[in-house]
Amino acid sequence: MNAEAADCIFCKIIAGEIPSTKVSEDEDTYVFMDINPGTRGHALVIPKRHTTDLTTIGPADLTSVVLKAQEIAKRALSSLPADGVNLINCCGAAAWQTVFHFHLHVVPRYAEDGLAVPWKPGQGGDAEVIAAAAEALRG
Ligand code: 5GP
Ligand code: ZN
């Protein structure tokens, strides 16, 4: 593990050193609930291999993450159920990236949820709401 990965909170989440509400994981990806959701069911899809951002992720990991995000988005629509979904990636601090381990936000959208970017934490941030939404996303 390189120095950047050793300091990375998402690598610590994958390793179980920091708790998370996990939705699913496979060989290449890990999916968990955002601690400060923009809407109910807001999840993050990350590659297990540490990489900084959109410019550094390899093609195989990018493919795995996007396909996983598609799966979670479909489940958000069918199980939460959401009315729509935004996939969001922030690349660089100027684009609001705050955690420098590549991630795709899967943000379920609800008619008239009023979400605007950058979103303010708090919508759907209650621990019980997060746990119930994670269960719905597990399918
Ligand atoms: P970014 O701004 O880098 O695109 O998004 C980082 C996201 O990670 C934010 O939405 C933030 O709420 C989430 N986040 C930061 N630290 C933690 C954490 O320790 N646990 C979880 N579950 N999410 C986190
Ligand atoms: Zn990392």
42-88 residue pLDDT tens: 999 999 999 999 999 999 999 999 999 999 999 999 999 999 999 99
Burial 58-93 (b: 16+ CB within 10 A, else e): eeebeebbeebbebbbebbeebbebeebbebbbeee
Between the CA of 112 and the centroid of ligand 1 the distance, in Å, is: 24
| Residue 43: strand pairing partners | 33, 106
Q: Count Cβ atoms within 10 A of the Cβ of residue 112 and give its class: 0-12 exposed, 13-18 middle, 19 or more buried.
A: exposed
pLDDT value for 123 = 58
User: What local confidence, expressed as pLDDT, does residue 48 receive?
Assistant: 98
The pLDDT of residue 6 is: 87
Domain boundaries, the chain: 3-138
Strand ranges in 4-118 using DSSP code E only, listed in sequence order: 22-25, 29-33, 43-47, 84-88, 104-109
Q: The tokens 């939460």 sit on which residue? A: 80
User: What's the pLDDT score for residue 67?
Assistant: 98
% the chain with pLDDT above 90: 86
Q: Whose CA is nearest to atom 16 of ligand 1?
A: 35
Which residue is catalytic, options 42, 50, 101, 103? 103
Banded pLDDT at 122 (limits 50, 70, 90)? low
Q: Whose CA is nearest to atom 20 of ligand 1?
A: 35
Q: CB within 5 A of ion ligand 2: which residues?
A: 5, 8, 10-11, 50, 101
CATH class of the domain whose range is 3-138: alpha beta
Q: Quote the CA–CA distance of 21 and 24 in Å, as a whole number.
A: 9
Using 50, 70 and 90 to split pLDDT, how confident is the model at 139? confident
The Cα–Cα gap between 13 and 94 comes to 25
Concerning whether 103 is annotated as a catalytic residue, the answer is: yes
pLDDT exceeds 80 at position 115:
yes
- DSSP E strand boundaries for the chain: 22-25, 29-33, 43-47, 84-88, 104-109
Residue 68 tokens read as: 């996983």
User: Which residues surround ligand 1 with Cβ inside 6 Å?
Assistant: 9, 18, 20, 32-36, 90, 96-99
pLDDT(121) > 90: no
